[in-house]
Amino acid sequence: MSLSGILGHSQPLRVLRRAFVEGRVPTAYLFLGPPNVGKLTVALQFAKLLNCTAPEHLDDPELVDCCDQCPACMRIEAGSFADVLSVKPVVRIGRGAQTESTEFEGAVLTTEQIGDIISRAGGKLSRGKHKALIVARAETMNPEAGNRLLKTLEEPPPNTTLVLTSSSPSGMLPTVVSRCQKVSFHPVPLGELISGLSTKYPHVDPGLVETVARLCSGRAGWALSVLNMPDALMAREELLSLLLRLPEEPLVAAMSLSEELIRLAERWWMALNENSDAAHDVLTRSSDRVRRVALAEVLDLLGSALRDLLLLTSGDESLVLNRDHLHDLRDLAATFAPKNVRRAAAAVEQVQRHLRGNANVRLACELLLLQIMQTCRQGPGGMSV
């Protein structure tokens, strides 16, 4: 990939390219925007541009880019370039086990990680032209780590740029924020996202591409993660299949179906963490914690389908998110009254709140499915069927 391969974000890319062409790259950037919108991806591609040995379109600040083929570009892409370091929040489970996951609840940047960034900043250039040090989700630094990093920002080493990313800068030390040039990232417009994803995935069904683009709410990073992971797509398919089966299932099946829902959440977790050994280790050591986090995301997908049902019961198809299952959802909507869909959606939101507390995961899933199944049986007219 290169800067030209980024989906959307034309204004941030313009700022970065112009700074490079004019030789005015600052000591520190703060990339601001929603989670999974693409901030970290842009930071890594910019690091490639800073170190590329054969950059393209050097005379054009609108098009300048890395070659994506020189040894520096290839090593940065592989994560093995000494002058580029990227750290993400980590979760430690048990005796030393950890996983890097910017979406895992409770993940934090450790003092040791920030120490590595500071040490790399103070060292000499290895083979590159410019050190690029990236701190993802900088708001998860504790005050001690933030103060240590502040000293580096106040006395910046030459040929070094730090890129901090954050979706919640209020959680950062104001003095750290003030030392950075801010670059704002916004959700990618739907039409632009569909076009870009279609180009990147020409062999994927267009209906699925459009669905993922609609579901991601402009978060290009989330869309790319899902489309890159067949297991995630399969988990979503099985979740929608589960929803479509509920009207035909006996109420007593809520217990066995809850187990199925939990397994789907675990598969979703593993898929979005690339089925890594670290992700499997965390799932094994702290299954309850993983299930709560993964279920919250899976229930977001379930909530999107219920939202679509509410639109369809009102006769409005234009805003449906799950376009690739429009026919099935239309049939299911015929069995629901709008007020019952709203009750089912409210039940999903209630369970998500309970999962953030100490609710029993299995029991919460059983009750949720039971509530949805009961609403299915009340029919369009509100009478039990």
What is 229-376's CATH number, 3.40.1350, 1.10.3470, 1.20.1250, 1.20.272? 1.20.272
Helix pair angle (277-285, 287-313), 10° resolution: 100
What pLDDT score was predicted for residue 100?
Answer: 57
CB-based burial of residue 345 (10 Å sphere; 0-12 exposed, 13-18 middle, 19+ buried)? buried
The candidate with the shortest Cα–Cα distance to 7, out of 199, 205, 184, 164, is: 199
Q: Kindly report the pTM of this predicted structure.
A: 0.87
Intervals of the chain under pLDDT 70: 92-105, 378-385
CB-based burial of residue 248 (10 Å sphere; 0-12 exposed, 13-18 middle, 19+ buried)? exposed
What pLDDT score was predicted for residue 336?
Answer: 81
Domain 3-184 and domain 229-376, same fold? Reply is no
What pLDDT score was predicted for residue 161?
Answer: 96
Length of the chain: 385
Q: 313-368, pLDDT tens digit by residue?
A: 888 888 999 999 999 999 999 888 888 899 999 999 999 998 888 889 999 999 99
Neighbours of 210 (CB within 10 A): 19
Q: 48-63, pLDDT tens digit by residue?
A: 999 999 999 998 999 9
Each domain of the chain, given as residue ranges in start order, spans: 3-184, 229-376
What pLDDT score was predicted for residue 105?
Answer: 66
What pLDDT score was predicted for residue 379?
Answer: 59
Residues contacting 286, CB < 8 A, separation 6+: 93, 94
Neighbours of 76 (CB within 10 A): 26
What pLDDT score was predicted for residue 129?
Answer: 94
CATH number of 3-184: 3.40.50.300
What pLDDT score was predicted for residue 94?
Answer: 56
What pLDDT score was predicted for residue 281?
Answer: 81
What pLDDT score was predicted for residue 384?
Answer: 47
What pLDDT score was predicted for residue 27?
Answer: 94
